[in-house]
Chain A
Amino acid sequence: MDRVTMHKWDRAAAHFDVMAGYGPEKRWEPFKRELFAQMGDGRILFLAVGTGLDVPFFPPNRELVGIDISQAMLDKAKPRVDAYPGRIELHQMDVHDMSFEPGSFDQVFTSCTFCSVPDPVRGLEALRRVLKPGGELHMFEHTGSRYYPFRLMMNLMTPLSRLAGPDMNRPTIDNVAAAGFQLREVKHVYLDVVKTIHAVA
């Protein structure tokens, strides 16, 4: 378990909903609902549950396993998880060291996760391992931008943002490909910064 990352998100849990719970969630709700509507009937891994802000957007009656590196985040998520009309099993777990058997899941969903995973390619490789062959990876992520002045600004911001939470300039699409996934579709939600990514193992 990466204790530095765990403690960072334990500290963030107390004020996470203040920063992320209203404006960002309201703004992204239609796009997240569209992404999560692709949750199928198989076994689903949801990576980085956080405080459970995304749970109300899940379609009902799905069977999910949710993990997060921070127990404080999972404690905050519990009321939202308990209110979900389906089944969500929570585990405190580091994506780099997941204890699931290879090929355990049909789908993996992430939401604003790989801006924060310390070794994103290794984390994505771990996701590919726990997916069945041909299993689907669906991501809602913010990344760096290809375009000036956004790229300059995000590169300058990242050393600051990293102290309290995520990186602003991750090349997540490249990381997905580097981890051995086959990219199927990338949809821009906001500029080329916020996007949904669909890939297969």
Chain B
Amino acid sequence: METRPYFVLGDLFANGCAGALVGLICGLCFDPGWNMVLAMFAGMALGMALSLPFALGFGALFGAMEVMVPVMTTGMVAGMVVSMAAAMQEVGSANAAGLGLASGVATLAATYAANAALRRRSSRWTA
């Protein structure tokens, strides 16, 4: 697991920023007039597209795949969560951004846990 403070804080910042922005924009784009399932898929696609510049920009500072994979996943998750919430009831901008930020932090935590588990499974071909 990554323990170097520069990278841990960088990961948090990158995923938090991407999640908050995706949440904010999805909160503005979707409302209770949307079908929830349609909003979910549209939000996922929009979230991924919006998070791409974050993945590239923060990747240069904090690492390539280690930034791109969680940030793009954050975009997908934050887009899905906020667009579904907005399709169910009115979500204010601050709430949408907060929900997106929380999605980013949760996605990063899940990615760190997945990384720890997968790195333990290494050496499958060790002869």
Interface string of A157-170 (1 = CB under 8 A from B): 10010000000000
CB contacts between A and B, total, < 8 Å: 88
Number of interface residues of B (CB under 8 A): 34
**What does DSSP make chain B's interface, helix, strand, loop or mixed?**
helix
Name the B residues within 8 Å of A190 (CB-CB).
65-66, 69, 115
B72 to A: closest C-beta gap in Å: 5
Name the B residues within 8 Å of A100 (CB-CB).
none
C-alpha spacing A100/B127, complex, angstroms = 30
A188 within 8 A of B: yes
B117 to A: closest C-beta gap in Å: 9
Name the B residues within 8 Å of A150 (CB-CB).
69, 73
Q: Report whether A184 and B125 are in contact in the complex, using a CB–CB cutoff of 8 Å.
A: yes
Q: Report whether A187 and B123 are in contact in the complex, using a CB–CB cutoff of 8 Å.
A: yes
A-B contact pairs, 12 of them (CB 8 A): A23-B59, A27-B66, A28-B63, A142-B65, A147-B114, A150-B69, A184-B127, A187-B123, A188-B118, A188-B119, A189-B119, A190-B69
Query: What residues make up the interface of B, taking CB atoms closer than 8 Å to A?
Result: 2, 6-7, 10, 48, 52, 56, 58-69, 72-73, 76, 111, 114-115, 118-119, 121-127
